[in-house]
Structures are given as C-alpha cells and as structure tokens.
Amino acid sequence: MNSRVFSRRRALQGMSVACAAAFAPRPLSAAGARDPRVVVIILRGALDGLAAVAPVGDPDYAPLHGALALAPTGERAGLPLDGFFALHPAMPAFARLYREKRGAVVHAVATSYRERSHFDGQDVLESGFPGPGRTESGWLNRAVAVLPSSGGSARRGLGVGVTAPLVMRGPAPVLGWAPQGLPSAGDSLAMRTLDLYRHRDPALAAALESGLDTERVATQGGMSDDARKNKGGMDQPGGMRQASAGAARLLAAPEGPRVAALAFDGWDTHQNEGGVTGQLATRLSGLDGAFEELEKGLGEGWKDTIVLAITEFGRTARINGTNGTDHGTGTVALLAGGAVAGGRVIANWPGLKANQLYQGRDLAPTMDLRAVLKGMLADQFGLSAQALAEKVFPESASIAPMKGLTQA
C-alpha cells in the first residue's frame, strides 16, 4: 500500500469525516411545505421483542418468558400501551410519545431472513435485499440516491459512527460524524493545521475543513467540556444519547442532511438478559434516551421526523438455562417522531402456543419489515412503489408499502 495514501486514510478516520464534504443545500421536500426527515437506528445483536413490548394479555407469554416476563401490574409491571401489550419500564420517553400519538410499535415483524446468523441477518436488514451477500450498498443510501434533487445539488445522508452503517453506504454522498473520543483541539491549532494542509495537500485540507464544520454544527449551542467528553460506546446509554444529540443538531441545521443512520450494539442477550432491570433494561434505557435527544435536538424539525429502530431478528420465546434468550425470528420495530401516526401497536398477533411458534420456539413473523420501510419512505419522501421495488428494495415487488404510518 502506498504510504501516502495510508497516512491520508488514517488521518481522515481520526477526524471522523468519512466521505465528508461541505454541507449540501437542503434536500427538496417532496411533500410541499413539509421538511421531512428520517432517522434509522440499527439495534445490532437481535432485540428481544417479547421483552421490549410484552404481550402481557397473552396467557402463554408469562410461562414461556419466565423470570424475564413483564406483567400487567406488580413489581414486574410494564408501561401500559393498549391493554394487551406493555412497554418495558426502561422506556418512559417512548411511552410518553405513544400517549401523545407520536410513537408506534410494529410487532411480530421480521425481514425475509429465516436463519440465525447475526452477520447474515444484519446484511439482509441493512442491504434491503432478500438474501445475504448480494450487495455492498444499503437501502437507506439507495433511497437518498433516488430522492428528487434541490437545484441540482447533491443529496446527503448522515452516517453516525467511526464507520457508517451498511444501511447508509452506497452511491449517494454521505456525511460522516462520530462523537469525539479525545479532547478537541483548540481553534488555533485547527486553523494552523488547516493552513498547512492547504499548502501541502488541498484534498486533505478540504476534508479537514468539512470535518471541522461538521463538528462545529454537531456540538453547537455552547456544549460544556463535560458534555463533549466521550460518554461511552454505542452499547452504553450515555454513548447512545451523545451520538443522537449530535445527529439531531446536524439534522436540524438548515442546510444539513435529512436522512441519518446510527447503529447501537449490545442486544445479543444469551445470558442474564434481565427483566425490569439488568443488561437489556440498560440498553433499552439508552434507546429511550436516543429518542428523547432526537426530539429535543431537532426542535421545530421534530414535527416532520420519523425515527425508526429495527433489528436483524428476534429471540426465542422461551428463556434458556442461563436466564437469557437465543436467536429467534419475529420481533418489534419502534417508530417515534412528530410525523408518526402513533398511539397504536400494529400487529397481526400470531399467538404463543407451541403450535403457533415459528419452528416451535420463535415468535412467528406475520409482517415483512420491508413493508414498514417502504411505507415510511413513501409517506416521508413520496417515493413510488416502483422505485422502492426496483431501486431501494430489489426483488420486493410483491411487498406493498404499509399505509398510514404518518400523520395525514
């Protein structure tokens, strides 16, 4: 490998400015005066949907989920949703959004993937193809690529993290940003470095200038030194909040991106999953905090926003011998935002009796996740069923977009 190329790449990674350039002009709103935004949160590791949104009204649920099961009342009570389902108590912000009809749940949903490999499941979830190993681009990036342009300018997605999630990689230009892990350099040092690069390497100077601009927007509003400090990885509540707060600032900027992707880790709960407290509760509190930070940071833009949290597959309905759950199939998708037609759990409930479980052990999926994703993109950006089937989710013509996910 050429040493100069190597050093440039390392420098760019260190600044968290993958594929970055200057902010693009605001993308065209496809819905008149609205200025729609979409944020996709990937939950890597396979979320236990039966714990996150518990079917407490199903008499077969508690015997299967044992000590991990939520209850309608008592010490293990969930937050009531509709009388049949209850939300995990670690998610009070999402519960409030649900009551305000700005939060919704899609239950017993899954991608087309029916095996139990995280790697392949995540590939299918993020690529949007019916099987793994079909492409290196993601469905969200391809959706950005087919959006109508604004004045001929480039459209822009946002990938949060040191490496952009697969769902946001592809032909459309992507802005990269990640919370700083090290103390920020002072303005004077940054300007001297920028001046040096301008004389020695204009391409690297342009990348640095864009990265500085991105960091300025993501941390605008007079963040204190403590607020700038790294709050943990993307599997910790503080890290999830911090990443979401920065993403919200970038999405709220007048000329910032309108589509973003984040990936949170740590949902693979084979052991000691926990009930109302424990490791799953900790992760769910982080996701709840992410919804809250996006709502707060987007400000006026929240009313036209949909945030969607999805995972590669679910977990077994019956707990295992180590108080955890293993790789399963059906799970939940969570939607929040001012644009969501919420206050409801969307489900064609399959039941949890032995003969109703998928392969005798998983929540059986009754809805294809691609219908939800297509419906969200159609409602927010006006993408046609043909574009969604041919460009964004190839080989999915038989999967119709779900209607009515957004406010009329």
CA distances from 299 to 39, 93, 241 (A): 15, 16, 16
Answer for the pair 262, 244: CB distance below 8 angstroms, yes or no. Answer: yes
Distance of alpha carbon 22 from alpha carbon 25, whole angstroms: 9
Distance of alpha carbon 87 from alpha carbon 79, whole angstroms: 5
The position carrying tokens 């032909």 is 171
Residue 34 is predicted with a pLDDT of: 86
CA distances from 99 to 92, 112, 288 (A): 11, 31, 15
List of residues 6+ apart from 200 with CB closer than 8 A: none
CA 253 to centroid of chain Cα atoms: 20
Residue 21 is predicted with a pLDDT of: 34
How high is the mean pLDDT of the chain? 86
Strongest mean pLDDT among 129-138, 248-257, 359-368: 359-368
Q: Using a pLDDT cut of 90, give the percent of the chain over it.
A: 72
Buried b (16+ CB within 10 A) or exposed e, 148-168: eeeeeeebbbbbbbeebbbbb
- Report whether pLDDT(223) > 80: no
Residue 405 is predicted with a pLDDT of: 97
Residue 154 is predicted with a pLDDT of: 44
Tens digit of pLDDT for each residue in 260-305?
999 999 999 999 999 999 999 999 999 999 999 999 999 999 999 9
Q: Which helix (H) or strand (E) holds 103?
A: strand 103-110
Confidence of residue 89 (pLDDT cuts 50, 70, 90): very high
Distance of alpha carbon 92 from alpha carbon 109, whole angstroms: 23
Distance of alpha carbon 394 from alpha carbon 32, whole angstroms: 28
Radius of gyration of the chain, Cα coordinates, nearest whole angstrom:
21
Tens digit of pLDDT for each residue in 3-20?
333 233 333 333 333 333
Residue 43 φ then ψ, to 5°: -100, 100
The position carrying tokens 């119709």 is 400
Confidence of residue 203 (pLDDT cuts 50, 70, 90): low
- Beta partners for 360? none
Mean pLDDT of 84-107: 98
Answer for the pair 113, 312: CB distance below 8 angstroms, yes or no. Answer: yes
Tens digit of pLDDT for each residue in 367-385?
999 999 999 999 999 999 9
Tens digit of pLDDT for each residue in 314-349?
999 999 999 999 999 999 999 999 999 999 999 999
Confidence of residue 232 (pLDDT cuts 50, 70, 90): confident
Please, what's the largest Cα pairwise distance for the chain? Answer: 71
3-state secondary structure of 288: helix
Residue 231 is predicted with a pLDDT of: 72
Distance of alpha carbon 347 from alpha carbon 192, whole angstroms: 57
Residue 403 is predicted with a pLDDT of: 96
Confidence of residue 102 (pLDDT cuts 50, 70, 90): very high
Distance of alpha carbon 48 from alpha carbon 71, whole angstroms: 16
Mean pLDDT of 214-226: 60
SS3 content of the chain, % helix, strand, coil (to 5): 40, 15, 45
Distance of alpha carbon 310 from alpha carbon 263, whole angstroms: 10
Distance of alpha carbon 372 from alpha carbon 189, whole angstroms: 47
Residue 247 is predicted with a pLDDT of: 96
CA 93 to centroid of chain Cα atoms: 16
Q: Using a pLDDT cut of 70, give the percent of the chain over it.
A: 78
What is the pTM assigned to this prediction? 0.85
Residue type, 374: K
Residue 162 is predicted with a pLDDT of: 84
Distance of alpha carbon 264 from alpha carbon 234, whole angstroms: 5
Strongest mean pLDDT among 169-173, 179-183, 262-266: 262-266
Distance of alpha carbon 206 from alpha carbon 204, whole angstroms: 5
Tens digit of pLDDT for each residue in 21-77?
333 333 444 445 789 999 999 999 999 999 999 999 999 999 999 999 999 999 999
Residue 347 is predicted with a pLDDT of: 97
